[in-house]
Amino acid sequence: MINYKKEIAVLLSEKIETLSYEEILSLVEHPKNTEMGDYAFPCFKLAKAFKKSPNVIAEELANTLPQTEWLESIVAISGFLNFTVDASHFAKNVIVAVLDQTSNYGKSEVGAGKKTIIEYSSVNIAKPFHMGHIRSTMIGESLHRIYKFLGYDTVAINHLGDYGTQFGKLIVAYKLWGDKATIESDPIPELLKIYVKFHQEAETNPSLEDEARAWFTKLENEDEEAVALWTLFKDMSLKVFNRVYEKLGVTFDSYAGESFYSDKMPGIVNELREKKLVEKSEGAEIVNLEPYGLIPALITKKDGSSLYLTRDLAAAKYRKETYNFDKNIYVVGSAQKLHFQQWIKIVELMGYDWYKDCIHVDFGMVALEEGSLSTRKGNVVFLEDVLDKAVVQTQAIIEEKNPNLENKALVAKQIGIGAVIFQELYTSRNKDYTFDLEKTLSFEGETGPYVQYTHARACSVLRKVETIDLSVADFSVLADEASKDVVRTLSKFNEVVVLAHKNYEPHTIARYAIDLAQGFNRFYHDHAILVDDAKVMHARIALVKAVKITLQNALSLICLEAPEKM
């Protein structure tokens, strides 16, 4: 497939000596108004070196650049050099590439030979997998897929919250009010119930907090009963969590949580002491980060116990030594921004240059009309309940609109769960949003079901044709605006994927999927596809198949299935 941006950069580099090929390539863009052309090059950066106005430079370049078989025109407009690609060449070049590469279309080797760690989801043992966890889980899983798609050697880590004083509280609660058989029958709600009861009782009986701390100390000292109860809570929780992950299509390479690093924390604390980075403060140990515009970071409490920050330092060092990562990504909410700024700065102060490869991918909050997601108060909305409700409502829609559909239960699952995921990833990660199930399940508008239905529509057309003969196809019939708009969008897929990975932003691909679906539906509305003229029919059906393939690839990167019938 000819990369027109690169070809344009080559043409320009022969005329522009003040910028490198890479600099020129980075400046080639897509005009917002397609009437201006398919690609544009701004001449403003050249004004100082050329000692001419951008308008004059653009005019001179337009008159001196050589014509090629794939270029229809080069026009200077308001300081920009605008390039219009021959529509027939454009369509054939892009469509043939998509049909040839199929599931590999959009891939590249941007990440070849590079190791990337992505930590996401990181749910807490014995606590609900609630709706608030969907952001880290799905943003992380999508980034995992995007990075793999671009050739990175990726490691997906679920840094389980399986350590800390809350386990002392849970052990006390279990011993006072827990029933093993009842909890095993429905682990998370029952564990949540006794955990909430602990906090209610502790308000009038503060000695419970002392008991909880004592039990956590026992756990740290590997007391047999404490470890047995902790293991029970963890095993029951993972059974439930993995059921949710399976529904979401989420997988991990490692479940090494906080407890995994418990024996590695003393080494980190000693290293900080040896490098004279810690100081005493009211009996605790801190790293003073005020000279760097940050508040002091607590390393150990008065009683010598560790904190989240200490464990994250230990985890980062272990990952560097174990995986030798090129990039270590943490998909964690924006509320933890200070925490990441602190420990990454400490890694830098420890003398490790890989601190700059540790990236905090933060995100906003998801809200629900049901109210707070606070685990302590017990007001939670379980993610699995939301997914199941979405599937049930989708089944009802299918029964109404297409009761004879094959595999209705499977399709309802693909659409219902996909709809929830799509609404999550369609929202730019830095924005807060309110989850709306009715809007999410709509087959109209900018939703997952709309994109999936467009894919199914393309599949329906393709089922009516036995073969596609590209040798017969006349790609010049795809020169109208609706057809060329689809071709342009198809051509941008790899650029979009690379941009999504660069900005850690799956929203970019979700937005692209909507754009492609909308463009295809305009094309589908404007043109008859299964016409008698074989030249026209094979060109249009080839475009349909290219859209089908690219939509499926895009949906896969944002963790959605692509049903062929709906």
Distance of CA 304 to CAs 280, 294, 365, Å?
12, 23, 34
Domain count, the chain: 2
Question: Domain boundary at 85, 104, 133, which?
Answer: 85
How many whole angstroms separate alpha carbon 54 and alpha carbon 47? 6
- Confirm whether 97 is domain-assigned: no
Domain boundary among 65, 85, 105: 85
Contact 13, 27 (CB under 8 A): no
Residue 539 is assigned to a structural domain of this protein: yes
The range of the structural domain enclosing residue 470 comes to: 390-557
DSSP code, position 121: -
Gap between the Cα atoms of 251 and 141, Å rounded: 8
Q: Which residue has the tokens 């050099």?
A: 81
Say if residues 371 and 397 touch (Cβ distance below 8 Å): no
The tally of CA atoms less than 13 A away on the side-chain side of residue 353 is: 1
| pTM assigned to the model | 0.93
State residue 72 phi and psi, 5-degree precision.
Answer: -85, -40
Q: What angle is formed at CA 134 by the lines to CA 330 and CA 373, rounded to 5 degrees?
A: 105
Radius of gyration (Cα) for the chain, nearest Å?
A: 28
What token pair was written down for 565? 């019938």
Residue 121, domain member (yes or no) = no
Q: How far apart are CA 395 and CA 403, in angstroms?
A: 9
Report the C-alpha dihedral over residues 272, 278, 280, 282, rounded to 10 degrees: -100
Measured distance CA(311)–CA(302) in Å, rounded: 17
Cite the beta strand spans of 103-254 per DSSP E. Answer: 115-119, 153-157
Catalytic residue (one of 5, 92, 133, 169): 133
What integer pLDDT is reported at residue 379 of this predicted model?
62
List helix spans (H) across 324-470. 337-349, 383-401, 408-426, 437-440, 448-462
Q: In sequence order, what are the beta bridge partners of 90? A: none
Listing DSSP states for 309-362 in one string gives HHHHHHHHHHHHHHH--SEEEEE--GGGHHHHHHHHHHHHHTT-GGGGGEEEE-
Catalytic pick from 127, 327, 538, 545? Answer: 127
Closest of 330, 122, 142 to residue 241, by C-alpha: 122
Segment holding 41, helix H or strand E: strand 39-42
Asked if 313 contacts 343 with a C-beta cutoff of 8 angstroms, the reply is yes
pLDDT of residue 318: 97
CATH of the domain at 13: 3.30.1360.70
3-class secondary-structure state, position 523: helix
What is the DSSP pairing of strand 327-331 with strand 115-119? parallel
Three-state helix/strand/coil letters over 261-318: HCCCHHHHHHHHHHCCCCEEECCEEEECCHHHCCCCEEEECCCCCECHHHHHHHHHHH
Q: What is the pLDDT of residue 370?
A: 54
Q: What is the pLDDT of residue 107?
A: 97
Q: How far is CA 112 from the centre of its chain?
A: 20
The terminus-to-terminus CA distance of the chain in angstroms comes to 33
Structural domain contains residue 481: yes
Examine residue 123 and state whether it is found in any structural domain, yes or no. no
Q: Which residues contact 407 (CB under 8 A, 6 or more apart)?
A: 565
Whether residue 127 lies in the annotated active site: yes
Which DSSP state fits 67?
Answer: P
- Reference 499, options 106, 112, 134, 7; nearest CA is 106
Q: Give residue 126's Cα distance to chain centre.
A: 26
pLDDT of residue 372: 41
Looking at 85, 105, 122, the residue that finishes a domain is: 85
C-alpha 351: how far from its chain's center?
A: 31
Angle at 250 between CA 248 and CA 256, to 5 degrees: 135
Domain harbouring 470, CATH code: 1.10.730.10
Catalytic residue among 5, 89, 92, 130: 130
Print pLDDT tens along the chain (566 aa). Answer: 999 999 999 999 999 999 999 999 999 999 989 889 999 999 999 999 899 999 999 999 999 999 899 999 999 999 999 999 999 999 999 999 999 999 999 999 999 999 999 999 999 998 889 898 999 999 999 999 999 999 999 999 999 999 888 999 999 999 999 999 999 999 998 998 999 999 999 999 999 999 999 999 899 889 999 999 999 999 999 999 999 999 999 999 999 999 999 889 999 999 999 999 999 998 899 999 999 999 999 998 887 677 889 999 999 999 999 999 999 999 999 999 999 999 999 999 999 999 999 999 999 998 876 544 444 455 678 899 999 999 999 999 999 999 999 999 999 999 999 999 999 999 999 999 888 888 889 988 999 999 999 999 999 999 999 999 999 999 999 999 999 999 999 999 999 999 999 999 999 999 999 999 999 999 999 999 999 999 999 999 999 999 999 999 999 999 999 999 99
Q: How far apart are CA 304 and CA 318, in angstroms?
A: 22
Residues whose CB is less than 8 angstroms from the CB of residue 82 and which lie 6 or more positions away in sequence, other chains included: 31, 36, 37, 39, 40, 74, 75, 76
